[in-house]
Chain A
Amino acid sequence: MSETPSSADANDIALRSSIDRSLRHPVMFFFTSGALWLAVSAVLGFIASAKKHLPEFLDGCSLFDAGKIDAAHINALIYGWGFQAAFGMIIWLMARLSRKECTSSGIVLVAGHLWNFAVLFGVVGIMLGMGTGVPWMEFPKAVWPVLLLCYMLITIWSLIQFQVRDAGHVYVSQWYLLAAMLWFPWIYMTANLFVFVFDGNPLMAAGIASWFKGTLFLLFFLPVAVASAYFLAPKVTGRPVYSYNIALFGFWTLAVVGPWAGMQKLTGAPIPQFLPYAGAAAMVLILVPAIAVAINILKTVSGHGETVTASPALRFTAAGVVGLLTYGILSATTHAFGFSLVQFSYTDYGFDILGLYGVFSLCAFGAIYFIVPRITRREWLSRRFISWHFYLSLYGVITVAISAIVGGISQGEGIEAWNQSFLAGAGRAQSYGWGVTIAWGFLLLSSLFFSLHLLLMWARLGRRSSHPTLLTGPHADSPHGPEGEVDNYGSATA
């Protein structure tokens, strides 16, 4: 760890801890409520997936009707967990990197509560049959202006902090955060206005909804995850980012490629023909920024294998970066060769989950394991909880990726075989559907470990120790000295 008193001067430490203190409540609120939404989404995802291969599952419980529950699941995942984790990361990272305290944590906290009520209203609304029927935008129509307002109230202070920062170096993380903060309102307003407010062709509404789905991941969740990786990798290893030029290249390729993605979902639909092609091309080219980011982060941490395994923050981040590389490779392959095969199969869902969980959430977990001890001034309670969370997450997301993406190809082949019975083809997906269901079981367990741990930290029950909780046993040559000796607050409870 680079934050030893000997290497940083006292003013610096005081500034950092005052920034952490100013953000303690909003950031903890976003992380804990986000983690609980993640658990809710995992339950809903489990049921939604089970209904695809066991149609009688929970039959007669109209709240959990198929279709509605798929919508509730993915919306809870995006708006409940994804956004709140991203908010916590954005406001903390931006404050730390701009070296400015947050002076409006009260407003952020109020907006965060409002956001949660809006998401709750939206998810319950979907389950009661009041959804809009637009993928990823199913919340009843009254919800989106509220979400947009909350978003503004939460992130505007980070923009201001960046503007009033003392002149100096702008970090790579800051590019990504700044861009994500500006892209999202543009994307969200465009999608909602063009789909719900302006009167247009219904096909174009479907196209714009797909574009929203594509860009929301590539231009909001991905940049936030990458920003966190660009912060943590150098911070934890104590090395500068491997290459500034690769970082620059990775950022601008994402900025140029990302906005085109999404409409490949409408391949073959009677819309202007270049739209699906542009979308598919973007999904192929996304491999370029993915490789750039992966090389840069992995090169930064290479040679620090022990740190990567020992630090929960770095271990999750590294897994997320490998997830990004996998996403890029699989996306480029499926969209370049035979996209029609997987256009309407499980593959699409596999990409959604690989992106939202395998890339974004893993990086978010990394950030949370780094941030929470600093703002609560307590260390994580249990190394075992973190390990369980890590392995269950990893196995879960790998199972989803294999079952849905690879299984989706087999399913697509079955459906495309037009002279075979349709249900025989679609039936190929059933066993892979089991895989997705079991994976959500894993992810549910992992999120339970995570939420419980986070709630304990939120209740200020963390270890009062100057030793970070590492995933490998204590070392005699640790920079913090042998375990227990520097401990001012009695023995550690891990």
Chain B
Amino acid sequence: MKFKAFIFGLLVSFGLPWLLVIVVPFSAMRSLEPAKYAGMEIDGGDGVYIPKRDGRIKEGSEVYGQEGCYYCHTQLIRPTYAGSDVWRADWAGLKKSADNPDTRRETLATDYEGEKIAHIGVMRVGHDLSNLGRRLEANLKGTQLSPETWTFLHLYNPRGITPYRKDSQDREERSACPSKPSLFKEVSKNIAGFNALPVASPEGKAIIPSDRARALVSYLVSLKKDTLEQPVPQNLNYNPIQPAAQ
């Protein structure tokens, strides 16, 4: 094997996939055509689909990455050919009930807008978080807790609070998530004010979330990747029909 032929072989065998897998898709994904509503008959309106999210998405997403949440949580609702995520209770959105229509859908390319990297996730030790904000909202309805407070409490002590699913108290529904004490600090009660978490603390002291925790929680409760508030164009909406339970 001649040296020049060897180098040429390496260039071709690596360069071709490099172009096809990295460069071309990167440029294509960089300027995605915005999805358009098809018109009155199907979508009930015209225009362009613009994803909306409230909250400190950019900073929160960064903290999510820094804290390594993606090692145990995913953020991806796969189409049915690739997994059963859309059928799992509350992962893809809300199931049809008296209060709401069926809001489930798959993940769209626009769902990670504003983040540096899509936190697809490594493993599912914990729940998929694509619709964490949505299911907190639905499950905490009628309780004292706001989604934000619940999330602070969960990060502070995941097993210290009642499970958010009202109907289940059993062991299996208890969280297996380690706590994140570094996101909170202990300050004097006078300083804490309304920020104090409703948890036990030493006399005269209170536990408050740090700025990073606020950004993270703001991001987490913004995770509402379903169709409740914002219907997606029909040609993108693969709302699954639930298969009969075996």
Residue positions of A touching B, CB distance < 8 A: 51-53, 55-57, 59-60, 62, 65-71, 126, 129-135, 138, 170, 175, 178-179, 182-183, 186, 190, 194-195, 198-211, 219, 248, 252, 255-256, 259-260, 263, 265-272, 275, 278, 340, 343-346, 348-349, 415-419, 421-424, 426-427, 429-430
B87 interface residue per 8 A CB criterion: yes
B residues near A133, Cβ cutoff 8 Å:
61-62, 64-66, 68, 70, 116-117, 119
Are B26 and A268 touching (Cβ within 8 A)? no
Are B25 and A67 touching (Cβ within 8 A)? no
Q: How far is the CA of A418 from the CA of B16 in the complex (A)?
A: 40
Are A71 and B68 touching (Cβ within 8 A)? yes
A residues near B159, Cβ cutoff 8 Å:
55
Q: Which B residue's beta carbon lies closest to that of A263?
A: B21
CB distance from B88 to the nearest CB of A (A): 4
A residues near B181, Cβ cutoff 8 Å:
59-60, 62, 65
A residues near B71, Cβ cutoff 8 Å:
66-67, 70-71
A residues near B84, Cβ cutoff 8 Å:
416-418
B42 interface residue per 8 A CB criterion: no
CB distance from A313 to the nearest CB of B (A): 27
* 12 further contact pairs, Cβ within 8 A, besides A62-B180, A248-B1, A427-B172: A52-B125, A55-B175, A71-B68, A133-B61, A133-B119, A135-B70, A200-B26, A202-B112, A259-B14, A268-B106, A421-B173, A424-B172
Q: Which of A70, A269, A278, A417: most chain B Cβ within 10 A?
A: A269
CB distance from B173 to the nearest CB of A (A): 6
Contact of A269 among B32, B69, B107 (CB under 8 A): B107
- Given A55-B158, A204-B29, A426 and B124 touching (CB < 8 A)? yes
Are B72 and A68 touching (Cβ within 8 A)? no
B177 interface residue per 8 A CB criterion: yes
Are B126 and A175 touching (Cβ within 8 A)? no
B182 interface residue per 8 A CB criterion: yes
CB distance from A133 to the nearest CB of B (A): 2
For window 72-104 of B, CB contacts with A under 8 Å fall at 72, 74, 76, 78-79, 81-85, 87-89
A residues near B3, Cβ cutoff 8 Å:
170
B194 interface residue per 8 A CB criterion: no
Are B29 and A186 touching (Cβ within 8 A)? no
CB distance from A188 to the nearest CB of B (A): 13
B residues near A422, Cβ cutoff 8 Å:
88-89, 127
B residues near A190, Cβ cutoff 8 Å:
18, 22
Among B5-13, B46-54, B138-146, the one that faces the other chain is B5-13
Q: How far is the CA of A271 from the CA of B113 in the complex (A)?
A: 14
Q: How far is the CA of A259 from the CA of B18 in the complex (A)?
A: 7
CB distance from A168 to the nearest CB of B (A): 12
CB distance from B91 to the nearest CB of A (A): 8
Q: How far is the CA of A183 from the CA of B9 in the complex (A)?
A: 12
- Given A201-B32, A255-B9, A259-B13, A65 and B68 touching (CB < 8 A)? yes
For window 29-69 of B, CB contacts with A under 8 Å fall at 29-30, 32, 61-62, 64-69
CB distance from A54 to the nearest CB of B (A): 9
CB distance from A222 to the nearest CB of B (A): 14
Are A170 and B1 touching (Cβ within 8 A)? yes
Contact of A260 among B1, B21, B246 (CB under 8 A): B21
B residues near A430, Cβ cutoff 8 Å:
176
Chain A interface mostly: helix
Q: How far is the CA of A211 from the CA of B30 in the complex (A)?
A: 18
Q: How many residues of B contact A (CB 8 A)?
A: 79
Q: Which of A263, A340, A423, A430: most chain B Cβ within 10 A?
A: A423
CB distance from B115 to the nearest CB of A (A): 5
Are A203 and B65 touching (Cβ within 8 A)? no
Are B69 and A67 touching (Cβ within 8 A)? yes
11 interchain pairs (CB within 8 A)? A67-B68, A67-B72, A69-B68, A130-B66, A210-B120, A259-B13, A269-B118, A340-B78, A340-B83, A422-B88, A426-B124
CB distance from B187 to the nearest CB of A (A): 17
A residues near B17, Cβ cutoff 8 Å:
259-260, 278
A residues near B125, Cβ cutoff 8 Å:
52, 426, 429
Q: How far is the CA of A130 from the CA of B32 in the complex (A)?
A: 31
B residues near A175, Cβ cutoff 8 Å:
1, 6
B122 interface residue per 8 A CB criterion: yes
Are A68 and B68 touching (Cβ within 8 A)? yes
Q: How far is the CA of A348 from the CA of B74 in the complex (A)?
A: 14
Contact of B177 among A55, A183, A267, A275 (CB under 8 A): A55
Contact of B26 among A183, A194, A248 (CB under 8 A): A194
The 4 closest A-B pairs by CB, nearest first: A133-B65, A67-B68, A268-B78, A268-B82
Are B22 and A208 touching (Cβ within 8 A)? yes
A residues near B121, Cβ cutoff 8 Å:
344
A residues near B29, Cβ cutoff 8 Å:
200-201, 203-204, 271-272
Are B118 and A195 touching (Cβ within 8 A)? no
Are B13 and A202 touching (Cβ within 8 A)? no
Are A266 and B18 touching (Cβ within 8 A)? no
CB distance from A52 to the nearest CB of B (A): 6
Q: Which of B3, B71, B109: most chain A Cβ within 10 A?
A: B71
A residues near B64, Cβ cutoff 8 Å:
133
A residues near B158, Cβ cutoff 8 Å:
55
Q: Which A residue's beta carbon lies closest to that of B180?
A: A65
Contact of A278 among B21, B67, B124 (CB under 8 A): B21
B residues near A130, Cβ cutoff 8 Å:
66
B residues near A421, Cβ cutoff 8 Å:
172-173
Are B172 and A269 touching (Cβ within 8 A)? no
